[in-house]
Chains A and B, each alone.
Chain A
Amino acid sequence: MQRYSALSIFHRGLSGHESWRPQWRRAAPKAAYDAVIVGGGGHGLGTAYYLASVHGLTNIAVLEKGWVGGGNTGRNTTIIRSNYLFDESAALYNHALKLWEDLSQVLNYNVMYSARGVMMLAHNVHDVQVAKRHIHANRCNGVDNEWLTPEQAKEFCPPLNISDNIRYPVLGAALQRRGGTARHDAVAWGYARAADALGVDIIENCEVTGFRKDAHGAIEAVETSRGLITTRKVGVVAAGNTSAVMRLADVRLPLESFPLQALVSEPVKPAFPCVVMSNTIHAYISQSDKGELVIGAGTDAYTSYTQRGGLHINTHTLDAICELFPMFRRMQMLRNWGGIVDVTPDRSPIIAKTPVKGLYVNCGWGTGGFKATPGSAHVFAHTIANDEPHPINAPFNIERFRDGFLIDEAAAAAVAH
């Protein structure tokens, strides 16, 4: 792997950057691998990287039906935080956050993790109760999250409107200072490059069309648009398309796929220092390094695989943003896009073994998967390598739905009484 540094750029710049090599090889599928990852997004590429770097499995492949990082990895609003309520979630997301903190150095690829702070606004008494419950639980779990008064919130985020004569006044905010953003493409590319350097084959334009099982029902091969690949271990990390892929192996999952839209404004000089989220008003906003305001909200109401949604979702998102930040009314939307998010009944992910031996699944991240990328990949690699979950992802199994052990963050945030 060519080392990346300011010096290497300077050095190669002197000769017109002619000597850079591909960041990862354009691999053709081999006939057999020790393990195959289906899905070349951040979670899948990261899984391959940790399988190779932590577990020594290097004869593995990542199969991507399109181009790597082209799914939700490249379509999200890049928010990173770990201030989740339940111990299981806090452990998982904080595991990820710790990995984020030195991911650029580990991968020798600048993923631009920026702990600019994630501030979640409370607009009513119920919001305050929920925020405080989170803060206390986080503190006891070793996750940073602090309460800010409206004045402190405004000091942290000067554009915030804290007057009390607006529809939803800001009564305070929960701030996670280690929360922030990262560069989404860089995460996919950084993992791809690092995995490739360890020998992992990254195979783009390769769609899985079927699974073959042996007499005992265990996975023995994957059928793809580029031929049959023999393998005993398959990890499916296909986000919105997980149901469709798993159906090929006759595994049903409690998932539904919804369109999630996001948008950016035209780039402007620094105007917004952190990430602000509001569950009551239902929108979130940050500013990218390029200067674009990055804005998102909820999903469309219905399941869909179209990667687009309705105009009314945008109008609702932006009326909320304009209400919180009325100086942004004259900003202009540059681009809107859609992804497909797979949602479980408790809105927490599944990172688990499946009823089919040798088949593992990592899905159900809903609208919040990006932040978990390194942690999810790390524990999923452990699960595949050992055929046993890591303690952190053990609660995120499929059986929890049957047994009633839901990890229901959304329900815990509940709705006003």
Chain B
Amino acid sequence: MSAFRTATGGRIDRSRVIEFEFDGVRYTGLAGDTLASALLANGVHLMGRSFKYHRPRGVLGAGAEEPNALVGVWRDEARYTPNLRATTVELYAGLKAESQNRSPSLTVDKGSVNSLLSPFIPAGFYYKTFMWPKGAWKSLYEPAIREAAGLGRAPRLADPDRYGNRHAHCDVLVIGAGPAGIAAARAAAAAGASVILCDEQAEFGGSLLADPTAEIDGQPAAQWLAASLAELSAASRVTLLGRTTAFGYFPHNHVGLNQKLTDHLDKPAEGAIRERLWQVRASQVLIAQGAIERPLVFPGNDLPGILLASAARTYLNRYGVRVGEQIAVVTAHDAAYQTAFELKAAGAGIAVIADVRADVDAALLEQAAGLGITVRRAATVLGTTGKLRVTGLVLGSVSGEAVQAGDTIACDAVIMSGGFTPSVHLHSQSRGKLEWQPALGAFVPGEAAEATLSAGACRGVFGLAAVLNDGAAQGAAAATAAGHGAGVRTYQASEAARHGGGFLGALPQPGGKPGKKAFLDWQNDVTTRDIALAIREGFVSVEHVKRYTTNGMATDQGKTSNMNALALVAATLGKPIPECGLTTFRMPYTPVTFGSFAGYSRGDLFEPVRRTAIHDWAREHGAVFEDVGAWKRARYFPRGGEDMHEAVNRECIALRHGCGIFDASTLGKIEVVGPDAATFLERLYVNSWANLKVGRSRYGILCREDGFVYDDGVIARLAEDRFHVTTTTGGAARVYAFMEDYLQTEWQDLRVWLTSITEQYSVIAVQGPNARRVLEPLIEGVDLSATALPHMGVATGRILGVPMRLFRVSFTGELGFEVNVPADYGRAVWEAIFASGESHGIVPYGTEAMHVLRAEKGYIIVGQETDGTLTPDDAGLGWAIGRQKADFVGKRSLARASMQTADRKQLVGLRTVDPAVVLEEGAQIVDSPGQTPPMRLIGHVTSSYHSAVLGHSIALAVVRGGRARLGHTLYVPMPEGDIPVTVTSTVFYDADGARLHG
């Protein structure tokens, strides 16, 4: 057993020795250790290097507040985690940790040259330099700074671990399982409230875990703790969440908890969930976060071996580790005395207790004297000695304003206490107000913004009995507020430590000047001189001080530094602390893994894919898919090594000469039903609907109120009071919401009901001169002849006995039908049609061929030809507008003068002078060749393809005043030169529509 491990005591399991590695050196610890306690037990204080000056640093705290001892933990290469606090890393067998921000090693670090340069790199120095020569910032200075900055290294491989997510509701969420939290949870549970009690640590108990002599209700605190936890875990309406940090307080009592499940295990089970995000909605949130001890600010206060007194007590009593052999104590608070006494009792030497205060409780002095411990009152610290470990404490004495230099006390550790800062983080995150308590020298929770209560040290209540009783009272209050009336019980308790005193700011130095290297923010290397400089340079708001010096912006987010810095700012400005304000508390309370936010949402579960009923058939037939919204759509069906263009050319030709089959199921479909259905569409779409006969359909255009094209689709009238509306694939959900909006909020007079039927129907487009022949044998009850079912005709009937809505529509310009059948029959009907078509040369075609075919006909695609800035007329669809209608959505906007001008961008066709050249979609258009940037752009190419059927390229474009430029030559300026193009009609194929009506 190491020299620093006590013989007895603590909550570690002395029977289980655990091997681990730190920086390649093998050590042993005990089950129950943290990495920090195990290293301290081995006499290792040096655990890290600071951010800016690369100063050697030891562990400062024993918990989440730790700014110094940051390590990378390596389970395997894909499970490397940087920047973990050694104080919260639980030891497991085989743990490998490495120190960070040093090269080549912790003891010899090239970066420590920064510390020598520190007189010339004060706060904000980088704003004043690195400006010459221009461009050197990016090429020279910045790379060097980036290399020096950062802490650990980022993981390099994809993280294989899983993360979970759970939503929970409760009457009372208790945050923190120290004495206040446990008493609160007991009280709330006793009242019948459902309770979630969470604590960031592996073990519940908070301060009780480091207080072996405390008694509660006449029994040792440990016994009370065990009994209380047994009671709570037996309670059916209580959920206990260990290793669970409440990191964020969101509106309406929504609290985010991060639960760590596997990081402490020797060998986590395969596929085990590493962390779980709990999203808790609580009627009442009871915060019992405790308080964090403040360090004292004096020159050289950052040497390894200097740490918080409460941390030393935790290491001693919880982990059985003495932090040194000869320990100096610097304190402004009574509690550190008890730590000194306990360390002394555990065999450590106490070199001195230097108390900042002149007046110290006589009982404490008497007790110290009884143990042979020297106490210096009205003391200050002028410096420390040592390089990689503290070797001495240079004391001074304070008399009025004067500071006298004193002697140097030899020691191998210094423990310090500036008093305790209540953890108001979550209360503040919830937007509750904070109140300054002058007697306490601390901000405590004031008026709440949510249903929030605080209990115990986090609201400035100290002393075990007071904390327990506060917890019990607040727990009962929370339960009552949540509707479970509760009585209040009281506890009797005693503890050895006293609670009084405290100090804010920097310890006095000779001449009233800030001392050298007196650190406020350990990790970011912010000193008292930096604060002074910031104020000298006019950064007087605390937010400015923070940003200019980076105080409080390290990974501990100022848990140990913010109050001292604030006090220093206030003192420098001669203003009371509350007038200086506090920087905002933001989530997370402690850093939270990205993966736990993402949770299950990864891979297949990251935005689930939508597939049609025919998807698998397409996959089996070699389709290449594309993402369209959340859908997978077959893009083309290559055969025998074809590339996309070859496949598309073949599909197009086959369709124009025979027949093609296409899965159009992703199109949005909305059934509009009711006596006023026609009126509804009349008001909504630009077209006229009242005159649409039953059994007919019409191409509809929907605008937003601003007059720009929003969506389009064919709308069929199935009955007087029943319309089948189709939308674009991407527009389905928003058009449906759009319709509901008008129906529910503007036109409540209309008797219309909307149903989204997108997923209820498979839509099979059968297109081409043979389409009728392919379908006819399969269909019952519908005459497919051109006279009975002309272009845009609609009928209902059966196909293979399956109910069907049959549309004679075409997005290809050929004779075409769209077969709508219930989605469950989609694949079967598709296969039957395909089989029927095989003798007629049927081919499956994908979205790419569909795009070419429709472009040959000049049919637009909303979102490709239009982009939210085109009116129907711009898109060449002015003919569709019901001119005689008094109103429709967008009509008033279209009446604005700017919507009528001749130079609006209008849809036209383009032919390249060289028929082999296919323009690039998105290419820009100018009206004269040889322009140089900035050019006078008059439009752009919206669609462009090689047309196999026509034997030349075709393109659609929007061009300013385009329709007046028919026949003109325009130019598409490309990096290789201008491509001349001729403006044409948008219809390239079968201009008179003979094939369509065949």
Contacts and interface: CB of A to CB of B under 8 A. Distances in A.
Q: Tell me, yes or no, whether A and B come into direct contact in the complex with CB atoms closer than 8 A.
A: yes
Interface of B: 51, 79-83, 119-122, 125-132, 134, 137-138, 142-143, 145-147, 149-159, 161, 163, 165, 248, 250-251, 254, 256, 277, 279, 431, 529, 533, 536-541, 543-544, 547-548, 555, 557, 584, 586-588, 591-595, 597-599, 601-604, 606-607, 609, 626-629, 635, 706-708, 728-731, 861-864, 866-869, 893, 896-899, 920-924, 926, 931, 933-935, 937, 940, 973, 975
Interface string A116-133: 100000011110011111
B256 A141 contact: no
Interface stretch (A214-222, A231-239, A322-330): A322-330
B277 A315 contact: yes
B128 A17 contact: no
B922 A115 contact: no
Contacts of B165: 315
Contact of A412 (B544, B588, B869, B898): B869
Given A136-B922, A332-B593, A412-B867, A327 B146 contact: no
Contact of B142 (A67, A272, A289): A289
B868 A412 contact: yes
Interface string A180-196: 10010110011000000
A320 B607 CA distance: 10
Q: Which of B127, B602, B708 has the most chain A CB atoms inside 10 A of its CB?
A: B127
A136 B920 CA distance: 9
A133 B940 contact: yes
A186 B146 contact: no
Interface stretch (A3-11, A44-52, A358-366): A3-11
A156 interface: no
Given A167-B609, A331-B593, A289 B146 contact: yes
Interface in A1-58: 4-6, 8-10, 13-14, 16-18, 20-26
A87 interface: yes
Contact of A331 (B154, B163, B629, B729): B154
B152 A333 contact: no
Nearest to A314: B597
B541 A417 contact: no
B158 A326 contact: yes
A322 B293 CA distance: 36
Contacts of B730: 415-417
A406 B904 CA distance: 13
B137 A290 contact: no
Contacts of A130: 922
A317 B597 CA distance: 9
Nearest to B252: A310
6 contacts: A20-B533, A87-B934, A310-B250, A331-B594, A333-B591, A410-B868
B897 A17 contact: no
Contacts of B926: 140
Contacts of B587: 335-336
A336 B543 CA distance: 16
B598 A318 contact: yes
B924 A137 contact: yes
A414 B134 contact: no
Contacts of A308: 250-251, 431
Contacts of B152: 266, 268-269
Interface stretch (A100-108, A244-252, A371-379): A100-108
A408 interface: yes
Contacts of A317: 597
Contacts of A136: 920, 922-924, 940
Contacts, number: 348
Contact of A322 (B134, B143, B598): B598
B586 to A, nearest CB: 5
Given A137-B937, A268-B152, A333-B593, 15 more contacts: A5-B132, A21-B537, A22-B537, A109-B131, A126-B628, A133-B940, A136-B920, A137-B922, A266-B591, A289-B142, A311-B248, A326-B159, A327-B159, A329-B163, A330-B161
Contacts of A380: none
B925 to A, nearest CB: 9
B586 A337 contact: yes
Contacts of B431: 306, 308
Contacts of B536: 17-18, 20-22
Is chain B's interface secondary structure helix, strand, loop, or mixed overall?
A: loop
Nearest to A11: B120
Contacts of B588: 333-336
Interface residues of A, number: 117
Contacts of B602: 319, 322-323, 326
A20 B120 CA distance: 13
A173 B593 CA distance: 28
B126 A110 contact: yes
Given A329-B163, A331-B593, A417-B861, A267 B149 contact: yes
B935 A141 contact: yes
Nearest to B868: A411
B922 A315 contact: no
Contacts of A301: none
B864 A330 contact: no
Interface of A: 4-6, 8-10, 13-14, 16-18, 20-26, 66-67, 69-70, 74, 87, 91, 101-102, 104-105, 108-110, 112-116, 123-126, 129-137, 139-142, 161, 166-168, 180, 183, 185-186, 189-190, 204, 265-272, 287, 289-291, 306, 308, 310-311, 314-315, 317-323, 326-337, 345, 402-406, 408, 410-417
Closest CB pairs A-B (n = 7): A411-B868, A22-B538, A291-B150, A133-B922, A142-B933, A329-B595, A332-B591
A111 to B, nearest CB: 8
A13 B248 CA distance: 42
A289 to B, nearest CB: 6
Contacts of B155: 327-331
A251 B610 CA distance: 47
A198 to B, nearest CB: 16
B922 A129 contact: yes
A160 to B, nearest CB: 12
A337 B729 CA distance: 36
Contacts of B547: 69, 74, 185
A291 B152 CA distance: 9
A74 B544 CA distance: 10
Nearest to B277: A315
Nearest to B536: A20
B593 A417 contact: no
Contact of B149 (A291, A323, A408, A413): A291
A5 B158 contact: no
Contacts of B920: 132, 136
Contacts of B557: 334-335
A406 to B, nearest CB: 7
Given A406-B869, A416-B729, A140 B934 contact: yes
Given A114-B137, A125-B626, A267 B151 contact: yes
Q: Which of B544, B899, B937 has the most chain A CB atoms inside 10 A of its CB?
A: B544
Given A13-B120, A327-B158, A129 B937 contact: no
B158 A415 contact: no
A12 B455 CA distance: 50
Given A129-B864, A266-B591, A329-B163, A87 B533 contact: no
A290 to B, nearest CB: 5
A67 B592 contact: no
A195 to B, nearest CB: 13
B540 A26 contact: yes
Nearest to A412: B867
B542 to A, nearest CB: 9
A337 B199 CA distance: 24
Contacts of B256: 311
Q: Which of B539, B548, B731, B924 has the most chain A CB atoms inside 10 A of its CB?
A: B924
Contacts of B864: 126, 129, 417
Contact of A268 (B79, B153, B728): B153
Contact of B51 (A4, A21, A267): A267
A204 B541 contact: yes
